[in-house]
Amino acid sequence: MLSRKFRISKKKEYKKIYKNGRRVSGKFIIVFVMRNFSKNSRFGVVTSRKLGNAVKRNRTRRKLRAVIRQNMERMKNYADVVIVAKKSAVDADFYLLEKDFLFVMRKAGLC
């Protein structure tokens, strides 16, 4: 899990990122990116009810956060990032998610 200063917390901010950010999609995730020009990046993970019950949603979100935490230092530019999990992400292994995350980040020009 990330510390609180690396999270996006307000509903308004989510709305703003959905509206103004760049949309990049991978195999397991869809990412909305918006440059923020501050000292660090901030992340938000969204798991909708389509993914399954609460246990499945929680596990997917935690795996994605683990991916973010372990790869945060590689990022060159700072941005606000919202990651929306697809249904296929529920059963995906950690290293597959990591590969997909790095692919998407490269596509978005963040690392």
Partner RNA sequence: UAAGUAAAUCGGAUAGUCGCAGGUACCUAUUACUUGGAUACCUGAGGAAAGUCGGAGCUCCACAGGGCAGGGUGCUGGAUAACGUCCAGUGGGGGUGACCCUAAGGAAAGUGCCACAGAAACAAACCGCCUGGCACUCAGUGUGCUGCGAAUAUGUAUAUUCGCAGCACACUGAGUGCCAGGUAAGGGUGGAAAGGUGAGGUAAGAGCUCACCAGCGCUUAGGUGACUAAGCGGCUCGGUAAACCCCACCUGGAGCAAGACCAAAUAGGGAAACAAUGAAGUGGCCCGCUUCGUUUCCGGGUUAGGUCGCUAGAGAUGUCAGGCAACUGGCAUCCCAGAUAGAUGACUAUCUAAAACAGAACUCCGCUUAUAGAUUUGCUUACCUC
Give the binding site for RNA (CB under 7 A).
Answer: 1-5, 7-12, 14, 44-46, 53-55, 58-59, 61-63, 65-66, 69-70, 93-95
> How many helices (H) and strands (E) would you count in the chain?
3, 4
> Least distance from C-beta 106 to RNA, angstroms?
21
> Least distance from C-beta 104 to RNA, angstroms?
18
Cβ closest to RNA, residue 73 vs residue 109: 73
Q: How far, in Å, CA of 30 to CA of 48, rounded?
A: 12
Region class of 109: left (phi > 0), else alpha (psi between -120 and 50), else beta:
left
